Amino acid sequence: SAVISQKPSRDICQRGTSLTIQCQVDSQVTMMFWYRQQPGQSLTLIATANQGSEATYESGFVIDKFPISRPNLTFSTLTVSNMSPEDSSIYLCSVGTGGLWGYGYTFGSGTRLTVV
Amino acid sequence: DAKTTQPPSMDCAEGRAANLPCNHSTISGNEYVYWYRQIHSQGPQYIIHGLKNNETNEMASLIITEDRKSSTLILPHATLRDTAVYYCIARRGNQGGKLIFGQGTELSVKP
């Protein structure tokens, strides 16, 4: 399965600032996803990062707040913009690999973000 | 994707089998049942998946009822390291590629 390197692993940020999270995969993958996990909650899908085109956002998430880049098949970034304490969460990158969709989804170890 | 329902929490004694139920009464014929788990402070980890037949791998067994309306994940000899949140997900194998998580079951394995 793919190996994901996600950076930074954690950060403490001031409200009103932005943070960019990087996701690097050791192999080319078609599908990359970004999730948010608020404290004590399950994972919520933010968007699908599409290579060469704009990301596809889930309901409740917008590009202005969570801009995503996907310059190639091994790399993506998620920016959390104009942060507020409500953005304090773990952000996870995920890729789908293997011949059957859903088999072999791999997740990064996450970025633990605290906004003060 | 079909909605799944899981108990919010369960306990299991170390060394005993952990049986985690999942209800997916509206599952359609082409939807698979997937199980993932998330150990504290880590990303989710794939465990097993199945369509109709029971499945077994080195981590667990998956028992799917004949009508496919429910399933059970079995950890045959639970250890303390199996303490985690377990997610049951029903989804089509070839549509969209998204993985949507429900609330899961928090399994606590106790000595």
Residues 50-89 in A contacting B (C-alpha not used; CB under 8 Å) = none
How many CB atoms sit inside 10 A of residue B1's CB? 18
Nearest CA in chain B to A91: B43
Residues sharing a CB contact under 8 Å with residue A41, sequence separation 6 or more, in sequence order? none
Structure confidence at residue A105 as a pLDDT band (50, 70, 90): confident
Whole-number pLDDT of residue A102:
45
Reported as a single tens digit per residue, the pLDDT across B87-100 is 999 987 655 477 88
Mean pLDDT of A25-50: 93
User: Considering CB atoms only, which of A1, A45, A106 is closest to B100?
Assistant: A45
Structure confidence at residue A78 as a pLDDT band (50, 70, 90): very high
Residues 18-77 in B contacting A (C-alpha not used; CB under 8 Å) = 32, 34, 36, 38, 41-46, 49
Instruction: Please give the Cα distance from A110 to A6 (Å, whole number).
Output: 6
**Is B104 in Cβ contact with A96 (below 8 Å)?**
no
Mean pLDDT of A98-102: 53
Structure confidence at residue A99 as a pLDDT band (50, 70, 90): low
Instruction: Please give the Cα distance from B64 to A21 (Å, whole number).
Output: 39
Reported as a single tens digit per residue, the pLDDT across B34-67 is 999 999 989 999 999 899 989 999 999 999 999 9
Asked if residues A55 and A70 have their Cβ atoms less than 8 Å apart, the reply is yes
Average model confidence (pLDDT) for chain B?
92
Distance from CA of B55 to the nearest CA of A (A): 14
**Is B97 in Cβ contact with A48 (below 8 Å)?**
yes
Instruction: Please give the Cα distance from B49 to B39 (Å, whole number).
Output: 19
**A85 SS3 class:** helix
**Is B97 in Cβ contact with A42 (below 8 Å)?**
no
| Lookup result for tokens 């950060």 | A11
Residues sharing a CB contact under 8 Å with residue B6, sequence separation 6 or more, in sequence order? B20, B21, B22, B23, B86, B87, B88, B102, B103, B104, B105
How many CB atoms sit inside 10 A of residue A16's CB? 10
Whole-number pLDDT of residue A103:
57
User: Considering CB atoms only, which of B91, B97, B103 is closest to A42?
Assistant: B103
Mean pLDDT of B71-83: 97
Which of A107, A109, A111, A112 to probe the B interface (max B CBs under 10 A)? A107
The more confidently predicted of residues A91 and A54 is A91
